[in-house]
Structure 1
Amino acid sequence: MHHVKKLAEANPTRRESNAALYEYGKYIATVLPKFVQQYSVWKDELVIYTAPSGLTQVVEFLRDHTNAQFKQLTDTTASDYPTRPNRFEVIHNFISYRFNARIRVKTYADEAQPVPSVAPLHSAAIWGEREVWDMYGVFFTGHPDLRRILTDYGFEGHPLRKDFPIHGYTEVRYDEEKKRVVSEPIELAQAFRNWDYSSAWEQTGEGRDNAPKGFEKPAGKNTN
């Protein structure tokens, strides 16, 4: 009887197991104990957490070390968590073409605390960090050209902060009398609008629920 050796399925979308990613995160934390605060695996991707003071060292290691080779910065973004002491989370995403792997590096900041720019290490960060500055107001030290990139000239505030009003602070419009674009403070006709108005498409009957049996809620027990 001939024994046929089972070959691994060729799948370009296959990712490493969580166990392997955890081991690699442990390896990075062992090599950089002063700079890596913690690591985790989220949706089959390794996440490294570092303080702003250690960001440059971590990114440089990931770019140049033989066992890393994360030479491509694909994205720079941020998130706002107003209840945290350091409300902003700054995120850099990298790819290693050598090892077909991705990694995410996160650090933190507040309104007054700057973050070191990674633009000297990855020129792709120039526009991404400008966008984070424009949208969130996170200042990057060492950036070669830190200015707004999405909002208009003279824009006030940072629109992706959770405490930024949805209508903004100013209205930009074309003034027919002055024959030019003007910027004026927002004037709301009413502070709150109630959109609960009658509809021509009123519901008739209770409708049907075609949910599969596996999703049906169990009937409650009769206590009478």
Structure 2
Amino acid sequence: MSSPAPAIHAPKGEVAAIKKALGKDLLGVEEAHGEIAIHVKTDRLVEAMTQLRDACAYQQLMEIAGVDWPDRDPRFEVVYMLLSLTKNHRIRVHVATNEDVPVPSVTDIWPVAGWLEREVFDMYGVLFAGNSDLRRILTDYGFVGHPQRKDFPLTGFTELRYSEEEKRVKYEPVQLPQDFRSFDFMSPWEGADYVLPGDEKGASK
């Protein structure tokens, strides 16, 4: 019999320590299932992250993710996952923004943020002020749109194919032509109720 997975617990007094360290830069704290989510002012992100690293001992930036809320204003959230090696604990830091409001870059605190911010920019179109190399990183050259936005079409806008006639790779608008088809959706185990060629051989026996 396998033993249950160990429960996740936030260090004792951690929420109070975070509130004290961030002060007025903190918009709210949520704690559930041993996880702590922090919401901070977007324009004070760098100061808040510095405090979390130096005063609260969250030394490593593990990941940056984007979230799209099309019906909300501001539409986007940028979520930072921080790890404390000394406490063996992780927290999430949330900031809200729109596509025309840049988020301060944290590359001066964690250089690894350069590539992570480029991913969020590529997928969601969120800008990062202070990132000196904010280019697409996952999509191709000349890609149009941001594929992780909820309103981005699943088929995309362009398709890539090799043209045997022109002997080169071509970009073309997506076309989804499909002839009308009639489906009966009958289970193959139930058997068809129409006569197929050759059925008369079995009926004559």
Q: TM-score, normalised by structure 1?
A: 0.76
Counterpart residue number, 1:165:
153
Q: Percent identity?
A: 44
Measure the CA separation in 1 of the matches of 2:108 and 2:97: 20
Q: Does 1:60 align with 2:50?
A: yes
What SS does the aligned partner of 2:86 have?
Answer: coil
| Match runs of 1:1-224 below 5 Å | 13=6, 15-16=8-9, 20=12, 23-65=13-55, 68-190=56-178, 197-202=185-190
Unpaired runs of 5+ in structure 1? Answer: 1-11, 204-224
What SS does the aligned partner of 2:39 have?
Answer: strand
Counterpart residue number, 2:198:
none
RMSD of aligned C-alpha atoms?
A: 2.6
Greater relative CO (CA pairs within 8 A, separation 6+): 2
Structure 1 residue 190: deviation in Å?
4.9
Question: Is 1:25–1:48's contact at 8 Å kept on the other side of the alignment?
Answer: no
Unpaired runs of 5+ in structure 2? Answer: 192-205
Q: TM-score, normalised by structure 2?
A: 0.83
Q: Deviations 1:67-106 (Å, cap 9, x if unpaired)? A: x111111111111110111111100001111121111101
Measure the CA separation in 1 of the matches of 2:107 and 2:125: 17
Q: Deviations 1:5-59 (Å, cap 9, x if unpaired)? A: xxxxxxx9553258x3xx4223322332221000011331111101211111111
What SS does the aligned partner of 2:148 have?
Answer: coil
When residues 201 and 161 of structure 1 are mapped into structure 2, their CA distance, relative to the original with a 3 A threshold, is farther
Measure the CA separation in 2 of the matches of 1:34 and 1:62: 14
When residues 73 and 17 of structure 1 are mapped into structure 2, their CA distance, relative to the original with a 3 A threshold, is closer
Q: Which runs of 4+ in 1 moved over 4 A?
A: 190-196
Counterpart residue number, 2:202:
none
Task: State the AA in 2 paired with 1:197.
Answer: F
Measure the CA separation in 1 of the matches of 2:167 and 2:46: 50
Aligned residues: 188
When residues 13 and 123 of structure 1 are mapped into structure 2, their CA distance, relative to the original with a 3 A threshold, is farther
When residues 58 and 17 of structure 1 are mapped into structure 2, their CA distance, relative to the original with a 3 A threshold, is closer
When residues 181 and 199 of structure 1 are mapped into structure 2, their CA distance, relative to the original with a 3 A threshold, is farther
